[in-house]
Copies of this chain bind each other. A is one copy, B any other.
């Protein structure tokens, strides 16, 4: 049994979803681990990780619009140091989550056919985001 760790960086262009499934697959392949557990952890409170369909672009547009409806900008927030998108970004991170654990089988994450792994940027401005990856297995 052994482990591998790496921190990857993703440059976002402001609000939106950046798929990084390929980088997870490359990390697992490079480790030489066949069977195990992969964890991805987003080191931020205004960006998050999620899994959604990676085929239809409309899914991402609908998901973005829904997040705006559930956690809208507006006059309701006490915390707005960094602008009107600041507090809604924290809410969207809590809603969608910070960490993903995915079993690894036959040298790859055991994702379903339509599952893609995405970094969700919730701030309006571009940001540089770090994701800590960890893999344990053999």
Question: Which residues of A line the B interface, CB within 8 A?
Answer: 1-3, 5, 7, 35-37, 39, 41-45, 50-53, 56, 58-59, 61-63, 65-66, 70-71, 76-79, 81, 87, 90-91, 93-103, 105, 110-112, 114-115, 130, 132-134, 136-138
Contact = CB atoms under 8 A, between A and B. Distances in A.
A81 B71 CA distance: 26
The oligomer's copy count stands at 3
Nearest to A95: B95
Nearest to A42: B112
A137 to B, nearest CB: 7
A25 to B, nearest CB: 15
A134 B39 contact: no
Contacts of A5: 35, 103, 105
Q: Which 8 A-B pairs have the closest CB atoms?
A: A43-B112, A58-B79, A103-B134, A58-B78, A110-B132, A45-B53, A103-B132, A1-B1
A112 B45 contact: yes
B41 A101 contact: yes
Given A5-B35, A43-B112, A112-B44, A77 B101 contact: no
A50 B81 CA distance: 22
A64 B45 CA distance: 16
Contacts of A97: 97
